[in-house]
Amino acid sequence: MRKVADCREMPNDVGCTLMIAGEEDEVVRAAAEHGVSVHGEVDSFEYRASIRRSLKDEEPGYGARPSEAYP
């Protein structure tokens, strides 16, 4: 099962809609690098942990509409 990180699910100032899918470690690494370069985040253990917590399982059709399940 691949994991998905979706910028639309995270608060961000730049209106970013990027979605990253892949193996969990790949997604965490790519999302951390993306967060630093695009969102001005500071890469840290805590930041990567927060990304890991926000990952979802990839579902067929995911991204077709905004998720209602995310708190």
Residues that bind Zn ion (CB under 5 A): 7, 16, 18, 38
CB 64 within 8 A of CB 19: no
Q: CB of 38: closest distance to Zn ion in angstroms? A: 5
Q: CB of 5: closest distance to Zn ion in angstroms? A: 9
Q: CB of 1: closest distance to Zn ion in angstroms? A: 22
Q: Rounded to an integer, what distance in angstroms lies between the CA atom of residue 71 and that of residue 61? A: 20
Q: Which residue is nearest to Zn ion (CB)?
A: 16
